[in-house]
Chains A and B, each alone.
Chain A
Amino acid sequence: MVEHVGSTNPECVLDIRGLTKSFGTNVVLDGVSLTVERGKTVCLLGPSGSGKSTLLRCVNFLEKPDQGSIYLSGRRIGMREGGVIPMSTSELAQARARIGMVFQHFNLWPHLTVLQNLIEAPIHVQRRSRDEVVAEAEMLLERVGLTDKKDVFPNRLSGGQKQRVGIARALAMKPELLLFDEPTSALDPELVGEVVAVMKTLAEGGSTMLVVTHEMGFARETANEVVLMDGGRVVEKGQPSEFFTNPKTDRARQFLQRYVSA
């Protein structure tokens, strides 16, 4: 097999090829391929246990895939060019810093204020100047509507506010790609809207996003492409207008029925 050097498409920010991952005998990813182009939002849908979160976590090597390759803007992630030698921890850390991640349970740093959460990694990982980073962080907090909370510690925030901080924290890294791992699943229903609203402005503002979600409304209105996963495989992908009104596979129809009736 010929090892591709990145993607031939320069607009391709994320290129996942033939990814497999097993936990023991449990096959979680069974040859998944997927691309996300610059400025596009791709939503990963599927029942729980279908492998979507694992796929997301493989992108920045929080989980190490067994086989397959991942390219970020044409550069291999996790393995050195050639795909035989794994990246050193320092190379991996540098690669991870190019990808922003938003977690289901927010995963904010509790010992730091909201502003400190935003500037921590840009200053101490990316080694950018503090003044520049603080100014940008303040703008980001304004964008997510949390300027008045900048000196507050995370445990004083509501879930929706925490997640908006989580998003701003990811943006502060100026990432090439944003990963969202079920960003609204841990929220009370009345708080989902404020987070989805922020994600919509990001998508419309040209961020490149890969989103694992159960928010069908968001996927339908905002995604450029939806990808349905089941049993560790991609079973259908397409434009949301097609996918939601005229799914091609039985599996997609079943999945949608459950969500429409629920």
Chain B
Amino acid sequence: MIHMSEVSKVYENGSSALNNINIDIEKGEFVFLVGSSGAGKSTFIKMIFREVLPSKGQLIINGRNIMTMKEEEVPYLRRGLGIVFQDYRLLPDKNVYENVAFAMQVIEAPRREMQKRVNSVLELVGLRDKLKSLPSQLSGGEQQRVAIARAIVNSPMIVIADEPTGNLDPDTSWEIMKIFERINKSGTTIVMATHDKTIVDAMKKRVIAIEDGCIIRDEVKGAYGYED
């Protein structure tokens, strides 16, 4: 699914974000990405959906070679990925249904399929009864659930989440994690950057720790491993 070999990223201002990363993430894995702020987690995440292009090395996502990919192919790479952000990034003037349907609309999915699919993902995240609500009428947890529904509505192979529980209280965070776990059970690969020690320690998933642009730890049933 995700294959990185000898991947490095040096930004234009000369700062080195990642250094010689070698990693393989297989289909159906659930991977936590941990590390202090500025360690290179964000760069790692952004490289997967080609927001950031590696300076060096080999990077293959869903069988697509990122290094040789043309600009026009990027949208098709992203259709195979679902992205969830810490700040939800919902459209404030569209309701829950429209926010999720938007992701299918812009890739010109057939309308029939759209209705069915949007309803089923909203069911999955538990928001079937809030179709008509605007984001401003929802709690933070609910907004994040809409964002997750939007990320998975096009049935991506990989879901990438950058601090998805960063703005949420512990109880709500757990609800969100349960949704991710459900998505993962259906065979979707999940890569999540997080600072949430409790969650990482409790879930016993693969943990990749990054410090100063290098992978310092990669454990199959890992723990957070830091004292915050």
A pairs with B:
no
Give me the interface of A with B, judged by CB distance under 8 Å.
none
